[in-house]
A = this chain, B = another copy of it.
Amino acid sequence: MKSSQALRIAGTPAPRLDGIEKVTGKAIYTGDIELPGMAFAKILRSPLPHARLIHIDASKAEGLSGVFTILTLNDLAGLNYQYGATYKDQSIVAVEKVRYAGDPVAAVLAVDEATAEEALALIDVEYEELPAVTNIEEAIAPGAPLVHETESVKTELRGSRYGAPEKFKGTNVCYHFGYSRGDAAEGFKKSDYVFEDTFRFPKVQHYSLEPHVSIAHFEQDRLTVLSSCQDPFTLRDHLAEIFNLPLSRVRVIVPYVGGGYGGKLYVKTEPIAAALSWKTRRPVKLALSVGESFKTITRHPARVRIKTGVTREGRLTARECEIYMDTGAYADAGPRVTQKAGYRSLGPYRIPQVKIDAYSVYTNTVPAGAFRGFGAVQVTWAYESQMDLIAERLGMDPLEIRLKNLLKKGEAYTAGDTPVDCDLKEGLLKVAQALKWTRKPSKPYTGKGLSCCVKDAGGTYKIAGATVKMSSDGSATLLTGTVEIGQGSRTALSQVVAEELALDLDQISVAQLDTDVTPYDVSTSASSSMTVMGLSVQRAAQDVKRQLLRAAAKILGERADRLTLKDGKVHARKGQGISYSKVIAGCFGSRAGEIIGKGIYQDKKSKKAVLGSPTTFWEVGWGGAEVEVDPDTGVIRILKYISVADVGKAINPLQCLGQDEGAVLFGLGHTLLEEMVYEEGQLLNPNLIDYRVPTFRHLPEEFSSTLIENGNGPGPFGSKGMGEGGLLPVASAIASAVSNAVGVRFYDLPLTPSKVWRALQSKK
């Protein structure tokens, strides 16, 4: 490995390659694309949270001029119409029941969106309303109405890890993750104190600037889909299965994506677009509104009961954790998120005895799935809030109790998993220092809080391939399955290629992502791209380099291992060096041909690892906040926010800072503002007037983000992935600061002014 000092392009704050295109509005997103003969789709959604479908009559709608077809349950014969990220519990359009207000019942394809919209109103649907469950409590109550009949779910299980044990038959529980170490009950007995607290996390939405959009086109027995998605190869798997096609006959192309945050993983509305094209053989565009994306996928609301035993010196001795994750009407990635929530509820601390149970439960609400922080956001909110409560109850300093219990670098998180790969204290102390840490407020109504969170990152079991093509002039094109969702992957991955091949960034292009030609990649998720895809890209570039050096060695009459690359030339120890184009011309005997390098990355499997595969790296988020609470209004002002991220090596420090700042701002959303509100099974605020997301106005008055670069990540040049860590400590740090400022402790989010004000009132 090159030493950091020797890096030329990796490690520099190169401007984003797609920046100018994007700020000038020239960048092509799926919604910008028009195909000849394209028709437009709209979805008819259930108005009821839970009902049996009695009858659908689409004849009036079909008769409307400009309508090409209507897709209903009557069209699904011959398709494997049930699908899902983990369980096949969702269908292209509703078949027997609708399970949430917003569940797709039918879809119209018409000459334009207005006609399609008009036709929706002409479809008659007869429902038999059923009692609904819209939150965890209702869902797990004995005798609760069932969102899915357990039998049907059970027979659709995927893989043994997601097995639903027998005892949940006839309940709304669709998944259970259990983990234990030692004997928690025994641990509690030996503890000086045992504290038990329950925390709740609200239902929130990703709100990508670009709602879900896809274009599907069946031509003969071949399906092409352009989609704003994060995992085109997984989407291809799902579509191939639904339409009974070999994978080689399904092509997924991904133009620019306007934000994903997990909400564009797996399969969303693409099957509807594809089924309409399958019926009509026309290109079909299905573009959701913001309100419809709110009715497509959300984050899991959670209830986390956490019971922790401590010694009187503040050492953690035992923990029991019971987590319920509300996965909404369909499992989507719920089981995986729940598994991770369970696994991540251990936190960054040394706890000898542990017992964890995490459950996914169905409710009659919008499905919940993957979302930046995947299961960690809910549990970090809980365990870090409880750490403060424990400190308070023991009369200890929140920093002190954390430092006392933090895992050391090299220590096991769980047996068989990758040991902790950084110094957890280092970051926390940086936060404390920047905050001028003290729990003694200098001014009334101000306070400070800090937090340290960790997640196993990189995703469970990743596979990523990449190809680098060097053309006869020495310039290179990168084929990568990582989706540019705004995170800057094109730039950072190009920097890796530029570094390995001693090229300038303007010599490198990134090819359009197209499953037909791009090497396989599982998904753009879990902070994995810099590490997992980064390694694959680096290996592909190194493969080009090897071939280049071998060819140059012949020409120069020198051993390949004595040659180096610099400024687009191969250099022997002496002499001027020869340009890559001359080497390639030498190789092919003319100014033609190219050098193709392949790279692949594959996680290890291990039976010893709790999740079957050791974590790729540990992503750590340290955060600290200073707040001021207005006692008259309940408004929380963020005076200062300090974020520290462990990135191993920042391949592009500018982008890393942007990612970290963005993560914090994201965290401010669910901490202060965001919550999807239900009343009688109806979502009341699926729009940006009633559902507030953070804006520039919500930025902390003083905001700093610091990158720790210890160079020992597993990615290229010692890098680790990042982009989620910064999100994790926000809620607990701010809630801690609020508690410090006004002496009120919150157990649920968001900390809206009215909630804070009411709490202050009831305290008086």
- A residues sitting closer than 8 Å to B (CB atoms) are 20-21, 26, 32-34, 36, 219-222, 233, 237, 240, 246-249, 251, 461, 463, 465, 467, 469, 471-477, 479, 506-509, 511-512, 514, 516-520, 522, 588-594, 596, 598, 602, 605
Contact = CB atoms under 8 A, between A and B. Distances in A.
A34 B35 CA distance: 7
Given A34-B34, A477-B517, A519-B596, A21 B220 contact: yes
Nearest to A587: B602
A276 to B, nearest CB: 17
A605 B589 contact: yes
B475 A248 contact: yes
A460 to B, nearest CB: 10
A203 to B, nearest CB: 31
Given A248-B471, A248-B475, A594-B465, A517 B514 contact: yes
Contacts of A463: 588, 590, 592-593
B517 A511 contact: yes
Contact of A461 (B233, B474, B508, B590): B590
B36 A475 contact: no
A477 B248 contact: yes
A80 to B, nearest CB: 14
B520 A509 contact: no
Nearest to A605: B589
3 interchain residue pairs of minimum CB distance: A246-B475, A248-B475, A247-B471
Contact of A520 (B220, B248, B479, B593): B593
A32 B20 CA distance: 30
A177 B221 CA distance: 52
A36 B233 CA distance: 27
A311 B598 CA distance: 62
B475 A219 contact: no
Given A21-B220, A517-B514, A596-B519, A506 B246 contact: yes
A484 B405 CA distance: 66
Contacts of A589: 461, 602, 605
Contacts of A518: 517
Contacts of A602: 588-589, 593
Contacts of A467: 596
A568 to B, nearest CB: 10
Contacts of A588: 463, 602
B32 A36 contact: yes
A704 to B, nearest CB: 33
Nearest to A233: B592
A247 B596 contact: no
11 contacts: A21-B219, A34-B34, A246-B474, A246-B507, A248-B471, A248-B475, A465-B596, A479-B517, A517-B518, A596-B598, A598-B598
Given A26-B220, A602-B588, A602-B593, A509 B517 contact: no
A520 B219 contact: no
Contacts of A477: 248, 516-517
A642 B598 CA distance: 50
Contact of A475 (B233, B247, B598, B605): B247
Contacts of A247: 471-473, 475
A292 B194 CA distance: 88
A506 B245 CA distance: 10
A591 B237 contact: yes
Contacts of A512: 514, 516-517
A463 B522 CA distance: 33
Contacts of A507: 246, 248
A522 B36 CA distance: 32
